[in-house]
Structure 1
Amino acid sequence: MTTATSSTVPVRLADAGLVLPDYAGPSLSGLLPAVADALGAPVPEGPERRAQLGLEPTHRVCVVLVDGLGYENLAERAGHAPFLRSLLDGASSLSAGYPSTTAASMGSFGTGTAPGRTGLVGYTVRNPRDGRLANMVSWEGLGPAREWQREPTVFERLVAHGVTVTTVGPGKFMGSGLTEAALRGGGYRAAEPLAARVDAALRLLREPGLVYLYWGDVDKTGHHEGCGSWQWGDELGALDGELRRLVRSLPRGASVVVTADHGMVDVDPARRWDVAGTPGLAQDVELVAGEPRALHVHLRPGADPEAAAERWADVLGDAAVVLTGDVAVGAGLFGAVSDHVRPLIGDLVVATTGRATVVDSRTQTPASLQLVGVHGSLTPAEVRVPLLAVHT
């Protein structure tokens, strides 16, 4: 049987080399509440989360989120990052949620909750209003961000308590749908090169408050060249130098916390399945959402999810764990799931293993099909992200 009860899911995942997200333990969703408590601002779960993560009290802090810098990716390539390597000794990791992808992780990071409450459940999603595929990064086809993502953000809570919050990131993200959904609250300082973002953060840290600095080029390089490439190593080295400068230039009493939204694995082209050309996968499928490592499979009305799960498991074998949506929700893959979010989760939820991917060439662009580095599933390399903290 491919599906039984939600209670069997942790064992099935472990047997496949996958891990269940740990939303209650040290997690990406707990980081900003912990930081808020370190700043003296009361937010839900703040004291418990800070105790979990061991963050020291502070009046000014820069939280750096490096897109795509998984804990295992960093540990494996630490020779390119002597400064970050020095922080790894004694450092812990955090659990991202499911799927381990930017939109879902940013929602959890920004709200202190889980994808099941934010509705940010993948790279793409089926919009229940029109049944079409929508993109959660570009926000194309989703409508007003505040209507989609209804949870208050930690930034909003901090601002309400008088804490100055400023995001430092690319100009194109200012006011974007994903920014409004996950990170609304406070000000925004546009800066493009990483050095300019570090300079902006240091200026802002002259005053008390929280600075959030985002850097996306590690993820971008990994997607196009692979996280095992020399290009990825060079990008990590450049990041390392700027983070070293940030920490060495901090005003007294300031803190820096470095984390990521997910890790990455390089694909194996021999372990790729295309739904469009595989009858056992295409049967009864109306739409495939999510991404090649973490799929939401929406079936035609009247189709049997159990039978579809059996077919998918027969085709994919040990390349994936195939669950019905109900079993995945019951097992806690998405955390607690709100009623308005449940329709976004597929009739089937598919997490690939190893370096396998499942694509659908009917809806994905040719460029997306050629990506070398990918993420979204539940391998430790994708789910575990670093927690590197420095207090001056």
Structure 2
Amino acid sequence: MKSPFQSKLPDLGTSIFTEMSLMASEYQAINLSQGFPEFDTPEFLKSAINQAISEGKNQYCPSSGLPDLLHEISELTQRCYIKDEARRLDALNQITVTSGATEALMVAIQALVRPGDEVIVFDPAYDAYEPGVELCGGTCRHIAMNAPDYAIDWSLVELAINDKTRAIVINSPHNPTGSLLSQSDMEALQKLVIAHDLYVISDEVYEHMTFDGLRHESVLAYPELFERAFVISSFGKTFHCTGWKLGYCIAPADLTAEFRKIHQYATFCTFTPAQFAVAAMLKNHPQHVDDLAAFYQQKRDVLVNALKASRFKVLPSKGTYFVLVDYSAISDQNDVEFCHWLTQEIGVAAIPLSPFYQADVLESYHQNNKVLRLCFAKNDDTLLKAAKILCSL
């Protein structure tokens, strides 16, 4: 008789993103849940990928990425974060193109985490972090961030560090809260990481979406911190092409060498025509990146202003393409129940925040928090239509 299959992730089911998007489709609700743009990829980028395909650039490329793309990533990084001309990234030995940021996250975790290690994550946390750590035989130590500012209490981080601590995962601009880490946050992180000989995985996929003149504080701008870090970015977010699954990881040469050992067996290389297209986009249309913050700030403001007449309390969104809203004036339901009702009965799909927290705090979380995440990477008419419905509650 065949023995029962032993799952490596026994407590993991369908993600909340999949669940709510399927529900939105089933009930024909306006989908402000899953974080993907409703508008199209830039015309130049579409033309460039079609040209690459037509020219036969469809075979394997170097596992680490096309040299032209690695060069353009290096130039973008220098322009955005590294102001010291004496400090130059080594494009061929410090940058790896990946099949989306999710692959980069998983490979970085695999490169770092060993059985018995602990990794500090901050709740609400993106749901890919913990499964990656558990698959390595490690465990996550969760530190909660609280509304309305969702700031990190670094004294709690220091108390959480012990002889098993291997790494800290940060995410800024932060999904799902829209908060940003400040210069003082980065300095506090750097101090702890150096003092305790730790590593950092920095999820920066929304790096070019910051609002109201605020600056993204990248690990790449802090040389001592970068020496201990994997920095993860996403072209899918930046160029409205999430389905292309194109991201990259920047790390010191020694960490990159370990990263690539695993990357070569995870995907070997990433979609070649897309790499040619994005390299051309970065070279010929650098202003797209520069204009992205203003583009998404306008989207945020359309939705926020349209919700002023509602009973929702809108929380600050300093970056990403998400905004949180407190619905405590509308319902006593927990956030999962309220999102189901909102989708099925009202016609707008949102994401509850509780699935971003560790399971053993959910009872107390539900008692004290009534918060949803809305995605504003949508056309203005979609945002206004959704807001009109939400204002009727």
- Answer whether TM exceeds 0.5 for this pair: no
Higher fraction of strand = 1
- TM-score by length of structure 2 reads 0.35
- TM-score by length of structure 1 reads 0.35
